[in-house]
Amino acid sequence: MESFTEKERGILSQFCTNTDRDCFALINLPEAVKGALFSRYSRSSKSLRRVLLDEFILNPEAGFAEIVGEMKNRGESQLVATKKAEEFYDRVLVGYGDDSVAELGGAHLAAENISIVLTKIMQDARIGISPLEKSTRYVYFDQKVDGRYRYLQEERIMQSKYADEYIRACDLLFDTYAQLIPQMAKIEEEKFPREAEVSERAYASTIRAKVCDILRGILPASTLTNAGFFGNGRAFEYLLTKMHASPLSEPRAIAKEAQGELSKVIPSFVKRADSKYGKEMQEYIARTRDMSRDIALCHPSLTQAWEDGYHVSLVESDANAEDKIIAAILFSHLHADLEQVKALVARMPREERERLLNAYIGERKNRRQKPGRAFEAADYTFCVTGNFGMYRDLHRHRMLTQERQLLTTKHGFDMPPELKEAGFDKQVMEAVQNADVLYTRMAESMPHEAQYAVPLGCRMRWYIKMNLRECYHFCELRSMRQGHIDYRRVAQDMHTLLAKTHPSLVSGMKFVDYGTYELERLEAEKKIDKKLEQLKQKK
């Protein structure tokens, strides 16, 4: 353990959470300085705190005192500090690879009043970015601003002959949604009166969530929402590059805004997104997308969507999944080549295979206790036809590959049974069919923009490819009782298909919930009440 003088400890304590232990965190430093510091650290024999002292704090050429001094202030001074930190970063990192270094600094980005269409484009960034989004499951979207519902009046649509029809279609969807909120809330309250042991807070939250779940499919994909993202610089750079290359005007406009704001906090990490090299990358993304599309459109019999009900199919699975996983389990405990291990597995008796799998899965006490990395050796590909609202919930998973088709109204609409029972299905279908007419007129000449008119309850297609370890996580998490009934069904159906295909490998997946629940959020809200009570008792 390196020792520091009393003076050095006094300096370091401003920037490190401790000065006398081997594990510590950095504080009070600009992101660019943190990135530069870790980069130098990777090529130095010194400790991180010594590098910080010798090459940053006590190095007159670094201008460190000026940078950090400005950081302590607010407003314009902090922006000045970021600019100086960027200049410092560029000087320090001559000879270092920008890509990996850009993962050492991060930022929080808020994107407000963006469409649901755009949230999916931004959340396609799986690695290095963690998104959160205003939820249609817990928040009503019936508010008006300046007398208008909050949906995107997309630039190209509003300049087209479809502008007035688009406004009417979106307004009708929102009118229907807003009118049904109080009516469905009353029906659900009468159907499920509050029990004595349930708090008013928990009951109100549960009923609200139930009504949101029933009605969210009426909202159009143009609905404006808010989203937050935390990510590292490299991930943001690639996200911005892809958004700049989008065929839609909204992602391009927000990319420009986001790059401007991120340049105020992590400028060195995102500057390439729209630089000469960034523009070349944008052109590459757009060119390969358009050329691939043109070839795909040479098969007209498969380009037209048709009415199709919900279903999940297992398209691909590893025929030798068990052999792969058993070999992966054994490999880390042996000192043999993988080919030798696979040969051992090929002649291993059934009883020994089962004993090894059972030992590796172990006695799982909850869904968070997942089998180890060996279960990543087998892959499965599912194709799902389900509504867009369902897709939005499942899209957030990171450790897998998902690819969707363009939104359409032509696969049909999932009508919640509660709306049928209440006699509101005809009213809802009138609004949905009106959107379908608009979509049909727009789709041929404006296929990307036509997506904004599609209600969230309309079905779409996407595929999901994931390994068995992720299947455990996906199926058990998304089948939990507080989940939306639509995506719970997907998780349950995937589990059924997996169990039929590889029963020995899926035998440990015992936290998939097949139960049926009327008020899905009630138990979760009761738990929140208990936590709130515990917090009160701590005061």
Label each residue of 425-443 as H, E or C. HHHHHHHHHHHHHHHHHHH
Distance (Å, whole) CA 394 – CA 338: 35
Distance (Å, whole) CA 326 – CA 42: 37
Q: Give the model's pLDDT for residue 87.
A: 65
pLDDT tens digits, residue range 162-215? Answer: 999 999 999 999 999 999 999 999 999 999 999 989 899 989 999 999 999 999
More confident residue, 105 or 424: 424
pLDDT tens digits, residue range 250-305? Answer: 999 999 999 999 998 888 889 889 999 999 999 999 999 999 999 999 999 999 89
Using DSSP's 3-state secondary structure scheme, residue 465 falls into strand
pLDDT, average across residues 453-477:
97
Kindly state the percentage of the chain with pLDDT values over 90: 74
pLDDT, average across residues 472-495:
95
Categorize the per-residue pLDDT at 158 as very low, low, confident or very high, splitting at 50, 70 and 90.
very high
Number of H helices, E strands in the chain: 24, 9
Categorize the per-residue pLDDT at 526 as very low, low, confident or very high, splitting at 50, 70 and 90.
confident
Ordered strands of the 129-133 beta sheet: 106-115, 224-232, 129-133
Distance (Å, whole) CA 452 – CA 367: 37
Q: Give the model's pLDDT for residue 86.
A: 64
What is the per-residue burial (b if ≥16 Cβ within 10 Å, else e) of 9-36? Answer: eebbeebbeebeeeeeeeeebbbbbbbb
| φ, ψ for residue 68, nearest 5 deg | -70, -30
Distance (Å, whole) CA 517 – CA 525: 14
User: Which residues are bridge partners to 131 per DSSP?
Assistant: 229
pLDDT, average across residues 317-336:
97
> Which amino acid is residue 443, in one-letter code?
A
CATH class as words, domain 307-414+457-539: alpha beta
Distance (Å, whole) CA 117 – CA 454: 10
Q: Which of 90-99, 177-186, 301-310 has the lowest mean pLDDT?
A: 90-99
pLDDT, average across residues 83-111:
70
Nearest one of 477, 479, 478, 481 to 517, comparing CA atoms? 481
Sequence spans of domains, the chain: 6-96, 106-136+227-303, 158-222+416-452, 307-414+457-539
Nearest one of 44, 47, 43, 40 to 21, comparing CA atoms? 47
Number of Cβ within 10 Å of residue 418's Cβ equals: 18
Q: Give the model's pLDDT for residue 75.
A: 45
Distance (Å, whole) CA 226 – CA 246: 20
Q: Is the pLDDT of residue 124 over 50?
A: yes
Using DSSP's 3-state secondary structure scheme, residue 113 falls into strand
What is the per-residue burial (b if ≥16 Cβ within 10 Å, else e) of 327-354? Answer: bbbbbeeeeeeeeebbeebeeeeeeebe
What is the token pair recorded at 506? 């899926």
pTM, 2 dp = 0.89
Distance (Å, whole) CA 438 – CA 409: 10
Q: Is the pLDDT of residue 94 over 50?
A: no
Q: How far is CA 425 from CA 69, 180, 413, 422, in A?
A: 63, 11, 11, 8
